[in-house]
Structure 1
Amino acid sequence: MRRENHLNNFSDYIPQKAIPFVEFLVEKHLFELKIVNERATKHGDFRKLPNGKFQITINNNLNPHQFLLTLVHEIAHHVTHEKFGRAQPHGKEWKTIFQHLMLPFLHPEIYPPEILRYLAKYLKNPKASTDADAKLSLALRGYEAESGKLFVFNIPNGDFFEFKSTIYKRGNQRRTRIECQNIKTHRNYLFHQNVEVIPVFIK
């Protein structure tokens, strides 16, 4: 069972300067906000509950800059639903609302310049996931992988790594994707360059 927590103290999760406007958004748009354990396939989501209320969930492993962007992303889904009802999940209506909601946060006191320049570019035509933007994704993580891991682009060509209990051999890079071979099946897969993996040393 996934452990869930109600969010009571924004200072634990987002940059300090962002708190006033985030509190305004949460109070203006009625929804339940919960922090949940990390999910491999998404940072957050928005949904309508069986009781008719709305809920936003955010992963608990995100740093303040990731958390804020994910939260506003999901609030934009809620506002899109309020204004347009059924609409494309990441269509033009959502993009326009997301861009508008993010404007107050595009400030160096909230996002440092090394993130802000990539974030501003991303918001010109935002995609469904920030992970699709390799430079922004890396900047949001502070250019550091979790302890004991490396980004797959840091694995030398021809070396091995573990991902989801499977060993791969790192191959050539194709723009933001890297070709890697499953050493058991010999099948090739394309990994996003910012995927975090565990280096493995095989003689």
Structure 2
Amino acid sequence: MPPEAAPLIGRWIDHFKCEFKISRNRGTKFGDYRPPFDGKGHRISVNYDLNAYAFLVTTVHEFAHLYTWNQHQHKVRPHGAEWKENFKKMMQPFFEKNVFPNDVQQAITKYLNNPAASSCSDLNLYRSLRRYDPPKESATTVEKLPVNTLFKLKDGRVFRKGEKLRKRFKCVEVNTRRVYLFSPVAEVELVEAAS
């Protein structure tokens, strides 16, 4: 995370008596919060391979869950109004310290008008954060590929890119002919350019 953010996160870990774990990459999520259960206290995990700014946004997201749980336990929705308000409040000190670059801060500010369950669902914020990722040689995103291009996922499945339907791209798995909808920012590997 950005060095100037670490002291406050360290204080939160101590104050909330939280087990904070840096986790392996989980393809389906960037972070996770677990409330106290079965003798264990609060637990937060964040993926190790996020860039510093994405790591911090994810960490604050999870601490907002912890804070909301302390206030309401299971009486409110996980990403309801109470969590949204806490997320905004907990993000504020990092704005005051100018921790984020301007483009990321603007994207977060816009996102905070109505934060979602995942920062990935806000394409503007996701793209802003991704600009600070180290470059990857073979990876690209679905939105950058021309229609009819073949691409594959990490698991080896191959797809043909189709047209955009509102927010997602309709793609057909080559082997099964099944149709899947892909986020424009889904990371894929080019197999064959469109012909």
TM-score by length of 1: 0.87
Distance 2:56 2:12 in 1: 12
Distance 1:52 1:22 in 2: 20
One-letter amino acid of the structure 2 residue matched with residue 200 of structure 1: V
Distance 1:177 1:55 in 2: 33
Contact 2:18 2:41 in 1 (8 A): yes
Which of these residues, 48, 53, 60, is aligned with residue 65 of structure 1?
53
Distance 2:41 2:180 in 1: 41
Cα distance, 1:40 vs structure 2: 1.0
Kindly report which structure 2 residues correspond to 1:1-203, keeping only aligned pairs within 5 A, or say none.
14-47=1-34, 48-86=36-74, 87-106=76-95, 109-142=98-131, 146-163=136-153, 164-201=155-192
SS in 2 for 1:171: strand
1:17-67 Cα shifts (integer Å, max 9, x gaps): 212322222222111001110111111111134223111111111111011
One-letter amino acid of the structure 2 residue matched with residue 118 of structure 1: A
Cα distance, 1:186 vs structure 2: 1.9
Distance 2:20 2:181 in 1: 35
SS in 1 for 2:39: coil
How many aligned positions are there?
A: 190
Contact 2:16 2:42 in 1 (8 A): no
SS in 2 for 1:106: helix
Contact 1:157 1:171 in 2 (8 A): yes
Distance 2:181 2:118 in 1: 18
Cα distance, 1:124 vs structure 2: 1.1
One-letter amino acid of the structure 2 residue matched with residue 101 of structure 1: M
Distance 1:161 1:169 in 2: 6
Q: Which runs of no fewer than 5 residues in structure 2 stay unpaired?
A: none
Contact 1:160 1:169 in 2 (8 A): yes
Contact 1:77 1:94 in 2 (8 A): yes
One-letter amino acid of the structure 1 residue matched with residue 79 of structure 2: H
Distance 2:93 2:166 in 1: 33
One-letter amino acid of the structure 2 residue matched with residue 60 of structure 1: Y
Cα distance, 1:135 vs structure 2: 1.4
Cα distance, 1:199 vs structure 2: 0.3
Contact 1:108 1:116 in 2 (8 A): no
TM-score by length of 2: 0.90
Identity percentage over the alignment?
33
SS in 2 for 1:199: strand
Q: Which runs of no fewer than 5 residues in structure 1 stay unpaired?
A: 1-13
One-letter amino acid of the structure 1 residue matched with residue 185 of structure 2: N
What is the CA RMSD across the aligned residues, in angstroms? Answer: 1.8
